[in-house]
């Protein structure tokens, strides 16, 4: 564990924070409103699309779902999407160090490869070894994030075994916004966003640049992001072009030595890359019948090199590309909505390392058909919401997989009781199939069966959510020591309870709380799954006045099993941590200067053993908005 000789004692910093917020609470600055975190209407009035692929009120969705709006991202001064996901019940982020480094998302204890990640409905998961790196996913251009928990292979296919995170970028506002910040350790962060309408056309764009020296030698991170949308609307037709480009360059400060028994400085260990997503959606609404055709391409290039590696010059170059054609039709009747659609997918990967060519135009193809019935029925003052779906995916590598899902909710007054059951799967990745020596072309998909029961309660001035879940994962793809290849030899179970609470507290204060109790088990060994704490949660306290706002966001990760990063590479217990971010912002009309203190009490912790998390850092910035 790292040491910081100049660290201020945690109790002193915490006392200062509480005192600061107490002064604000009784300051002569009347609250701007009774919801310290601005929202688009009430929380239950928000519209979501991820749960059923059609727009519906959050209050009627018969699933466990969370929505994070642009306003909530801004009030948290979140630079990366992972920063706001930490506050969602059932989700756990494990980052390998400072900004830009690899970060994994575990949903309800599932593997990081078993959560589907979407950008405006288009998959981002990497076909090379599945999963998605959350470490550098900037909030630039992001308008909202929708998170549904539970298996959604019945609607989205492979990888949606534990949940779906859908990041949406459609801007509904007009004008321009600027955001610039500087901070300790060489931090420079700037963003520009703009949106305008002209007749049937609407344009929106965002660009950002970030430089960060990090917290050690060769711990720097640089990133550029550009996002744009052009949309044409005529009557009942809608055509758009979306593009998002990201490039990064970062240093990796440490590596194991030649004997593997110590971590040493690696001043020239570097990684860089870029990604580009292109999407062309066309929508036509004919009243009772609507259809949408979406063409998309997602591509990435990642490069790594270390001339000082203890085993000689080491490098790798990986190119991955996925192209899709997606059709969704919606037929609305008095009895509900019937969704029928299909998808064609082609994925391709090239990989070259210092040891030679690993993959050369290796591909994976899939054809899919799906259907979902979504209906709601009134029974006096009560209402029942029902969703039933099934999807069939035919892969050229292993064959056909069928995934069903059923969810139901009973809504009575301020209460919503819900239940869901479903099956999910993850197709073997191209790397697991074809990587030299270790790949296995005979792999079958991973499979899961999941149950959940939940309740959502509208308190009038707040909401409470409670969900119990149980997941059974079979056929997991792991490295089989007996054959020295990947095999379907793993199995695991996860179960637990998710709690969420958000409410205004009066005098401009509001709070949001989350807690997850998680039990995991590897069936072959009886041990807990790595990096999944039994207890985790978050707490946020926000205050908004007419001329000033402030907030404190705290995340907690309990003790969790991990692997020692050096010899003998045995299992260890990674200690619990509690980290917080303190922020204050002043409302000067179009200008809004702010101050943020990251890791406010300088907690020393490692989300991944061997990779120290960032220390305390102060930054100052200003927002400018013209709308």
Rounded distance between C-alpha atoms, residue 84 and residue 29, angstroms: 28
Whether 8 has a pLDDT exceeding 70, the answer reads no
Q: Using pLDDT thresholds of 50, 70 and 90, give the confidence band for residue 484.
A: confident
Burial of residue 371 (CB within 10 Å: 0-12, 13-18, 19+) is middle
Whether 20 has a pLDDT exceeding 70, the answer reads no
Closest alpha carbon to 51 in 273, 379, 337, 366: 337
Residue 596, in any domain of the structure: yes
The pLDDT of residue 6: 38
The pLDDT of residue 603: 96
The three-class DSSP label of residue 16 is helix
The pLDDT of residue 45: 58
The pLDDT of residue 180: 97
pLDDT tens-place string over residues 26-81: 444 555 544 444 444 455 557 778 888 888 888 888 999 999 999 999 999 999 99
What value does the mean pLDDT of the chain take?
A: 91
Whether 126 has a pLDDT exceeding 60, the answer reads yes
The least confident of 264-268, 281-285, 378-382 is: 378-382
Whether 584 has a pLDDT exceeding 60, the answer reads yes
pLDDT tens-place string over residues 421-435: 999 999 999 999 999
Sign of CA dihedral 44, 75, 213, 98: negative
The pLDDT of residue 481: 82
Whether 11 has a pLDDT exceeding 60, the answer reads no
Rounded distance between C-alpha atoms, residue 124 and residue 121, angstroms: 9
Q: For residue 55, what are the domain limits?
A: 10-196+204-323+331-368+382-626
Contact status, residue 406 vs residue 362, Cβ threshold 8 Å: no
The mean pLDDT of 462-478, rounded to a whole number, is: 96
Whether 246 has a pLDDT exceeding 90, the answer reads yes
**CB contact set of 70 (below 8 Å; sequence gap of 6+):** 142, 143, 144
Closest alpha carbon to 443 in 526, 349, 364: 364
Q: Are strands 336-353 and 356-379 parallel, antiparallel or unpaired?
A: antiparallel
Whether 19 has a pLDDT exceeding 50, the answer reads no
Contact status, residue 409 vs residue 62, Cβ threshold 8 Å: yes
The mean pLDDT of 524-537, rounded to a whole number, is: 96
Q: Are strands 163-168 and 115-119 parallel, antiparallel or unpaired?
A: parallel
**CB contact set of 18 (below 8 Å; sequence gap of 6+):** none
Closest alpha carbon to 424 in 396, 438, 399, 405: 405
Whether 5 has a pLDDT exceeding 80, the answer reads no
Residue 186, in any domain of the structure: yes
Give the rounded distance of the alpha carbon of 351 from its chain centre.
26
The pLDDT of residue 28: 45
Q: What share of the chain in percent tops pLDDT 90?
A: 85
The pLDDT of residue 15: 42
Whether 3 has a pLDDT exceeding 60, the answer reads no
Q: Give, in order, the Cα–Cα distances in Å from 516 to each of 26, 90, 188, 503, 523.
A: 33, 6, 35, 19, 22
Count: domains in the chain: 1
Q: Using pLDDT thresholds of 50, 70 and 90, give the confidence band for residue 12.
A: very low
**CB contact set of 559 (below 8 Å; sequence gap of 6+):** 533, 534, 573, 574, 575, 576
pLDDT tens-place string over residues 335-386: 899 999 999 999 999 999 999 999 999 999 999 999 999 999 999 889 999 9
CATH number of the domain where residue 191 is located: 2.40.170.20
pLDDT tens-place string over residues 44-58: 557 778 888 888 888
The pLDDT of residue 525: 93
Whether 139 has a pLDDT exceeding 60, the answer reads yes
Phi/psi at 566 (nearest 5 deg)? -130, 170
Residue 436, in any domain of the structure: yes
Contact status, residue 60 vs residue 376, Cβ threshold 8 Å: yes
Residue 92, in any domain of the structure: yes
Q: Which residues pair with 189 in a beta bridge?
A: 181, 210
Residue 465, in any domain of the structure: yes
Q: Give, in order, the Cα–Cα distances in Å from 461 to each of 59, 414, 476, 502, 546.
A: 15, 11, 44, 9, 21
Q: Using pLDDT thresholds of 50, 70 and 90, give the confidence band for residue 18.
A: very low
Rounded distance between C-alpha atoms, residue 558 and residue 466, angstroms: 20
Residue 110, in any domain of the structure: yes
pLDDT tens-place string over residues 295-346: 999 999 999 999 999 999 999 999 999 999 999 999 999 889 999 999 999 9
Q: Residue 36 carries which DSSP code?
A: S
Q: Are strands 415-426 and 399-412 parallel, antiparallel or unpaired?
A: antiparallel
Residue 118, in any domain of the structure: yes
Closest alpha carbon to 25 in 397, 470, 551: 551
Rounded distance between C-alpha atoms, residue 326 and residue 460, angstroms: 40
The least confident of 56-60, 121-125, 266-270, 595-599 is: 56-60
Residue 2, in any domain of the structure: no
The pLDDT of residue 406: 97
Burial of residue 145 (CB within 10 Å: 0-12, 13-18, 19+) is buried
Closest alpha carbon to 143 in 68, 85, 83: 68
The pLDDT of residue 16: 43
């Amino acid at each position: 564990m790292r040491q910081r000789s100049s660290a201020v004692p945690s109790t002193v910093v915490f006392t200062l924070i509480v005192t600061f917020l107490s002064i604000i609470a009784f300051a002569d600055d009347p609250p701007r409103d009774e919801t310290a975190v601005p929202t688009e209407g009430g929380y239950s009035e928000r519209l979501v699309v991820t749960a059923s692929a059609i727009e519906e009120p959050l209050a009627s969705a018969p699933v466990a779902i969370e929505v994070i709006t642009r306003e909530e991202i801004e009030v948290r001064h979140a630079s990366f999407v992972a920063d706001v996901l930490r506050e969602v019940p059932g989700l756990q982020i494990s980052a390998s160090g400072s900004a830009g480094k690899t970060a994994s998302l575990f949903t309800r204890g599932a593997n990081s490869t078993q959560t589907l990640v979407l950008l405006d409905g288009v998959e981002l998961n990497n076909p090379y070894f599945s999963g998605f790196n959350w470490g550098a996913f900037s909030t630039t251009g992001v308008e909202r994030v929708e998170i549904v928990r539970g298996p959604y292979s019945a609607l989205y296919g492979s990888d949606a075994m534990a949940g779906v995170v859908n990041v949406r970028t459609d801007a509904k506002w007009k004008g321009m916004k600027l955001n610039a910040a500087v901070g300790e350790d060489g931090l420079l962060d700037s963003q520009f966003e703009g949106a305008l309408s002209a007749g049937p056309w609407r344009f929106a764009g965002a660009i950002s640049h970030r430089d960060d020296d990090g917290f050690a030698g060769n711990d720097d991170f640089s990133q550029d992001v550009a996002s744009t949308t052009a949309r044409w609307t005529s009557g009942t037709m809608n055509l758009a072009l979306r593009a998002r480009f990201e490039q990064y360059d970062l240093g990796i400060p440490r590596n194991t030595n030649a004997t593997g028994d110590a971590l040493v400085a690696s001043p020239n260990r570097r990684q860089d890359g870029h990604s580009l997503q292109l999407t062309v959606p066309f929508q036509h609404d004919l009243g009772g019948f609507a259809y949408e055709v979406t063409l998309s391409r997602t591509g990435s290039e990642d490069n790594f090199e270390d001339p000082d590696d203890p085993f000689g010059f080491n490098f790798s170059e990986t190119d991955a590309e996925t192209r899709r054609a997606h059709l969704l039709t919606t037929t609305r009747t008095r009895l509900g909505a019937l969704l029928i659609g299909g998808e064609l997918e082609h994925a391709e990967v090239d990989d070259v390392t210092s040891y030679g060519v690993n993959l050369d135009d290796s591909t994976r193809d899939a054809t899919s058909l799906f259907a979902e019935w979504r209906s709601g029925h009134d029974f006096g003052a009560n209402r029942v919401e029902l969703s039933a779906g099934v999807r069939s995916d035919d892969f050229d590598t292993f064959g056909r997989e069928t995934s069903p899902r059923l969810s139901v909710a009973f809504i009575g007054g301020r209460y919503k009781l819900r239940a869901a059951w479903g099956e999910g799967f993850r197709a073997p990745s191209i790397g697991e199939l074809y990587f030299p020596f270790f790949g296995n072309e005979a792999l079958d998909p991973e499979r899961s069966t999941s149950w959940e029961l939940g309740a959502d309660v509208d308190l009038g001035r707040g909401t409470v959510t409670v969900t119990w879940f149980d997941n059974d994962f079979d056929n997991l793809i792991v490295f089989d020591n007996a054959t020295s290849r990947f095999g379907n030899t793993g199995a695991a179970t996860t179960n637990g309870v998710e709690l969420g609470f958000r409410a205004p507290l009066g005098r401009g204060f509001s709070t949001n709380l989350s807690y997850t109790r998680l039990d995991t088990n590897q069936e072959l060994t009886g041990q807990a799954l790595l990096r999944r704490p039994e207890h985790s949660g978050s707490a946020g306290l926000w205050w908004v006045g007419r001329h000033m706002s402030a907030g404190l966001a705290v995340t907690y990760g309990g003790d969790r099993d991990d692997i020692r990063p050096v010899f003998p590479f045995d299992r260890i217990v990674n200690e619990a941590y509690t980290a917080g971010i303190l922020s204050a912002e002043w409302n000067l009309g179009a200008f809004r200067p702010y101050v943020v203190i990251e890791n406010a009490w300088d907690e020393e912790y490692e989300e991944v053993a061997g990779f120290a998390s960032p220390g305390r850092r102060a930054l100052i910035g200003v927002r400018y908005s013209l709308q």
